[in-house]
Every structure is written in structure tokens, then in C-alpha cells.
Amino acid sequence: MVAMAERRVLVVDDDPDVAELHARRVAAVEGFRLVGVAHTGVDAVRAVGELAPDLVLLDVHLPDISGVEVLHRVRTPSAGSAAPGADTAAAPDVIVISAASDRIAVGQALAAGVADYIVKPVSASELARRLRQYRDLPRNGVPDAVAGSLEQRSIDALVAAGTGPIRTVPSALLQRLPKGLSEPTARAILNSVPLDVPRPAAWIAERAGVSRITARRYLELLRTAGVVELSHRYGVPGRPEQRFLRTSD
């Protein structure tokens, strides 16, 4: 009988008691091995680079940077923002375990490509069930049935938030992404751009969980790819305000 390959797990939660609880529960599920615990976003990014986990159990609310920002950093190999030695091809899977259940938080995480989103509190049996479900999936992917359910949840959240159905980033754009930019961040920003009312980059950046500078950089690329439209709002002090709208499929 072939032994089951263990998934190396990093637990990230700002509450030490909760982190310890999740760590014990992970260790009790066959096929998983705890390799580390982090309590801040910066420590989580560092731990991903040093420990190379297969899976990160990630909280959204952290004391320094958000869990969504952690997700972007560990998947974006840019100086000063990615985990040391990080490789997007080997980026860990992420399951969010958080008390954040608002549509914006859920939409940001799902748009960034998390494997699952679990709302706290979660029982030992439910966490074990979700881990076993994840364990039986292909590495860095979800089967069609699960992908469909996640997509539906994403659509519900994003439509209610005014952003519309999830769209994928055009393959032609992905092939020419400048160094330091990543598909998960591009997807998160694209799906934070509304379909109904044009919004400024600052508004989109907040929904995507990234900085304004990062949002503007990706928005310009998405505009050149034809999936985002740029307009200007006049009548405000200073320069005309740039606003962005997602093009319809």
C-alpha cells in the first residue's frame, strides 16, 4: 500500500489560543503535518518562504496586514512583497478560516483563488471534513463540482457588492505580465471593478485588498487588454478623476 503524501500546513491566526487549537486539529487529520504557526501577516509571508508549506490556513484579520494582502504577497514574486524565494508555480494553497463573513472579504478571497473559505467558529469535525475534502483534490486545484459551488458563492457575493460575475484574466495578458505582477492579483482587481457605475482606483484597491499604486498598475494593463474601460470625471478640484468600469462579456 502506497503511503499518503503528507500536506505541510502553516496556521496563521492573530489569536494564539485559536492558532494552537487549529494546529492541534490539523495534526489530528490523516495526511496533514503542521510545519509552523504565525500570528502576523509579515510573519506569515516570511514563514511561507522559509517553510514552503503546501497549505496555509489563513485568517483575514491580522494585526499588521490583511490576510488578503498576505495571499497576494506569497503569490507575487516581487522584491519586498513576496516571500523570500517564493515561486508562483509552487505557491501554497490557501484555506481562509475567519470571522469575516461580509461580502467584500469573501469576494476578495475567492477572487484571489483560495481553495476554501470557512467562517469561524468552526468545529473540529467540520474542519476535519473540509481538510479531508481538500486532501482528496488535485494539488493546487479543485474538482469541477467544488469549483462550481465556489464560483456560485463568488458570484452571489460579488453581484451583491456591485461587481458582477467572476471573470478570468485574458490569457494573452497573462503571457505578457511584467515581472513582479501575478495572475491572482490581476484576477482580484479585475473582479473588483464594477459593471454598473465607474469607480476610482482607490475604491477598487480597497475592495481588492491592495494598495492604490498596485491597483493603478494592474488597471492600466487590464485597460490595454480591453477588459476594463477608463473614463474621466470632471468638475472636481485638480485633475479630472480617472474612473474604471469592467466591460461586459
- Asked whether residue 155 carries a pLDDT value surpassing 60, the answer given is no
pLDDT tens digits, one per residue of 13-72: 999 999 999 999 999 999 999 999 999 999 999 999 999 999 999 998 899 988 888 988
- pLDDT tens-digit readout, 41-53: 999 999 999 999 9
Claim to verify: residue 123 and residue 177 sit in the same structural domain: no
Question: Are both 211 and 150 inside the same structural domain?
Answer: no
Do 89 and 154 fall into the same domain?
yes
Q: Is residue 123 situated within a structural domain?
A: yes
Query: What is the domain extent for residue 62?
Result: 7-160
The enclosing domain of 127 has a CATH number of 3.40.50.2300
The residue out of 117, 136, 160 marking a domain boundary is: 160
In a domain, 128, yes or no: yes
Residue 77 lies in a domain: yes
Same domain, 116 and 22: yes
Compute the C-alpha angle 163/62/184, nearest 5°.
40
87 with 119, same domain: the answer is yes
CA separation for the pair 193, 213 (Å, rounded) = 15
Report which of residues 176 and 232 the model is more confident about.
Answer: 232
Domain annotation covers residue 36 = yes
**pLDDT value, residue 150:** 37
Per residue in 211-229, pLDDT (tens digit) is 888 889 899 989 988 889 9
Last residue of a domain, one of 160, 181, 199: 160
Both 43 and 116 in one domain: the answer is: yes
Average pLDDT score over residue span 111-140: 80
Within a domain: residue 165? Answer: no
The whole-chain average pLDDT of the chain stands at 77
pLDDT the model gives residue 37: 97
Question: Is pLDDT larger for residue 88 or for residue 193?
Answer: 193
**Residue 229 forms part of a structural domain:** yes
pLDDT score at 123? 87
Write out the DSSP string of 78-89.
Answer: -TTTSPTT--GG
Query: Does some domain include residue 14?
Result: yes
Query: Which three-class secondary structure string do you get for 219-237?
Result: HHHHHHCCCEEEEEECCCC
Question: Where is the domain boundary, 160, 183, 206?
Answer: 160
- Say which CATH number the domain at 223 has: 1.10.10.10
**Mean pLDDT for the stretch of residues 110-136:** 84
**Same domain flag for 220 and 99:** no
Q: State the total domains in the chain.
A: 2
Share of the chain above pLDDT 70, in %: 76
Residue 190: what pLDDT?
84
The maximal CA–CA distance of the chain, rounded, in angstroms, is: 72
Task: Please report which confidence band the pLDDT of residue 4 belongs to, taking 50, 70 and 90 as the band edges.
Answer: low
Examine the pLDDT at 137 and tell me if it is beyond 80.
Answer: no
Residues in the chain: 249
Band of pLDDT at residue 149, cut at 50, 70 and 90 = very low
- The model's pTM is 0.59
